[in-house]
A and B are shown apart, each in its own frame.
Chain A
Amino acid sequence: MDSDNNKPGNARTRRRYTTTRRLDKMFVELASVYRFIARFFKEVWFPPYEIKEFIKQCYEIGVRSLPLISLTGFIIGIVFTNQSRPSLADFGATSLLPALISVAIVRAMGPLVTALIAAGRVGSSIGAELGSMRVTEQIDAMEVSATNPFKFLVVSRVLASTLMIPALTMYTTLVSLLGGYLNVHQNELTTLTTFFYQVFDAITFLDIIASSVKSVIFGFTIGMVGCYKGYNSSKGTEGVGKAANSSVVTAMFLIFIEELLIMQVINAIRAF
């Protein structure tokens, strides 16, 4: 049916879509996203507050992700330090490794790695969970039973994600720095005190604030994308898979875009 309408010269096609089918679809999607986000901010302030569900989601998103994210962060710290050493060794500046690791991990890699791994683990989980609830009409059932499914499912997950990703970022940053220290200590015999002195010598309060703000935004993005994709998944088991997959891809893409924009803003503040 659609394919017939899209044929060139079809007058009905021109009347039915404001621009083109794809552009119209994209703008409709954007409007839907806007409504979804606006509904979140509308619902988040008023009771009933789903505390139990919120804590459960915090546990799932934060505590259950900690081992994976910590291990990843630790390995990244070691690998990044090891790969950076030859470049600095060319200048005879391996003593600057702690400063380099500090800037790289605190400013960028800590929040980014945490967000990407959380997007893969948490985003897909939320998308698949809500998608399957939509497919099995559990969300419709909740609406019928006078329970606000948006507040119970979406608000609790987005809030949990927004709170837990910054916490995970703190852990990841610390563990990555410890991984970096392990490698530096093995090669340069630097002490822990000296290492952390150089680490904190290279960063500023702005770096810590920027890292925290970034991780809050990343957490909100992961939760919101996962919930949106799952909550609005199409009917059928195929839609569940699509929702899970789309949650991860979209969340990761948005995280990189946000990283780019936030970096520009922070650099502008730093220069000011």
Chain B
Amino acid sequence: MSSADNKRSVIVGIFVFLAIVILVAGIFTLAGQQKRLISTITVTAIFDDVAGLKTGNNVWFSGVKIGTIKNIKLYGDSQVEVTMSIEEKVQQFIRKNAAARISSESFIGNKNIVIDGGTQAAGQIEDGDRITAVNPLNTDDLMEKLQQNNENLVAITSDFKQITSRLVRGEGTIGAILTDSVMADNLRAMVANLQQTSNRTVAASNELSRFTSKLNRPGGLANSIATDTTVYSNLKTSMAELNEATNAAAAMMETLESTSKQLNNQNNAVGVLLSDQQFARQLQRTMQNLETSSQKFDQNMEALQSNILFRGFFRRQAKEQEKQQEQLQQAQPDSTNR
């Protein structure tokens, strides 16, 4: 082989070698970027709608790319099972109760899956786990909500229009304030008064502050209550006794109530006496009869005193009474002299 042929062979060899290096470097870079050369775990999620997600799209966690979509297949009743390949080294940061949601890398960019949420208590995900899927809002839903917002906005602006027109016409308090100069002056005066009141309130609050500082002074009653354990203990005892007294009063009140209930009841003597009207009338008549009888009895007694047969008895009785009175009168001066 001539030297020219040899040189040509070497150049061709270098040429091919460099081309292979470019190809291999591209393949390894791509593999590294797509996390093909690192150990991964597989996690699944079931979505109602994957919104155009494709195999190979990225999986993000806290804004960091942690894996790719490995497989997408229909599942169950019109649902979609998405299998994600996630770096094993981030396994410790993702919780079992984390949620996967479909997002976009940009406004016109690829779809991806974002994993977020989860609590420490749930523990880290394991290979083959199925995490919760948060279904994305589709465009129709967004447009429907937007339409509702538009309608609300129209209603709000319409109400606002009415309010402003009423304000311009001077209707209502605010309208009057805006249009009536007297009202404005009154309002200004009111604000001035309010200012004065506020100043007084400040002064009062200062006084109150001073008062409370006095209360907090050591040795005072309030301070003793707040700080002295003995006073607190006494107060506690007093409160306990007061509580007992209150309980006793309550028991007494219950008894009184029960008694008053019984008094209102006509089944007993006192109740009949207090509340039975028929019995009251009978009692009244009886009393009247008794009064009449006693008058007649007085008359009889007077007649009896005038009677010759009993006159002597009554005279003796009167003399004995006079005698007793005289003895009493004599006994009283003696006691006064002593």
Contact = CB atoms under 8 A, between A and B. Distances in A.
Interface of A: 52, 55-56, 58-59, 62-63, 66, 91, 93, 95-96, 163, 166-168, 170-171, 173-174, 196-197, 200-201, 203-205, 208, 212
**Closest 10 A/B residue pairs (Cβ):** A167-B19, A170-B22, A170-B19, A58-B12, A59-B8, A200-B33, A200-B30, A55-B9, A63-B15, A59-B12
Given A63-B11, A170-B19, A55 B5 contact: yes
B5 A167 contact: no
Contacts, number: 67
19 contacts: A55-B5, A55-B9, A56-B5, A56-B8, A58-B15, A59-B11, A59-B12, A91-B108, A93-B106, A93-B107, A96-B106, A167-B15, A167-B19, A170-B20, A200-B29, A205-B27, A205-B30, A205-B31, A208-B26
Contacts of A163: 16
A52 B18 CA distance: 21
A257 to B, nearest CB: 26
Contacts of A167: 15-16, 19-20
B23 interface: yes
A203 B29 CA distance: 11
Contacts of B108: 91, 93, 96
Interface string B1-39: 100010011011001101110110011011101100000
B19 A96 contact: no
A167 B1 CA distance: 25
Contacts of A62: 12, 15-16
Chain B at the A interface: SS class? helix
Contact of B12 (A63, A205, A208): A63
A196 B28 CA distance: 13
A163 B20 CA distance: 11
Contacts of B8: 55-56, 59
A66 B12 CA distance: 11
A220 B324 CA distance: 168
A45 B9 CA distance: 22
Interface residues of B, number: 25
A205 B1 CA distance: 41
Contacts of B52: none
B27 to A, nearest CB: 6
Contacts of B11: 59, 63
Interface string B96-111: 0000000000111100
Contacts of A63: 11-12, 15
A171 B33 contact: no
A79 B29 CA distance: 26
A174 B22 contact: yes
B56 interface: yes
Contacts of B22: 170-171, 173-174
Interface of B: 1, 5, 8-9, 11-12, 15-16, 18-20, 22-23, 26-27, 29-31, 33-34, 56, 106-109
Chain A at the B interface: SS class? helix
Nearest to B33: A200
B27 A208 contact: yes
Contacts of A66: 15
Q: Which of A59, A66, A173 has the most CB of B within 10 A?
A: A59
A212 to B, nearest CB: 7
Given A59-B8, A96-B109, A197 B16 contact: no
Contacts of A168: 19
Contacts of B109: 96
B54 to A, nearest CB: 9
A197 B12 contact: no
B106 A212 contact: no
Contact of B1 (A52, A59, A166, A196): A52
Contacts of B1: 52
Nearest to B11: A63
A212 B23 contact: yes
A163 B33 CA distance: 28
Nearest to A91: B108
Given A66-B15, A167-B16, A208 B30 contact: yes
A149 to B, nearest CB: 21
B29 A196 contact: yes
A204 B12 CA distance: 29
A96 B107 CA distance: 11
A91 B107 CA distance: 9
Nearest to B19: A167
Contacts of A166: 19
Given A52-B1, A93-B106, A196-B29, A170 B23 contact: yes
Contacts of B16: 58, 62, 163, 167
Given A96-B109, A208-B27, A201 B5 contact: no
Given A52-B1, A171-B19, A208-B26, 11 more contacts: A55-B5, A96-B109, A163-B16, A167-B15, A167-B19, A170-B20, A170-B26, A200-B30, A205-B27, A205-B30, A212-B23
B166 to A, nearest CB: 45
B20 to A, nearest CB: 8
A71 B133 CA distance: 50
A174 B22 CA distance: 8
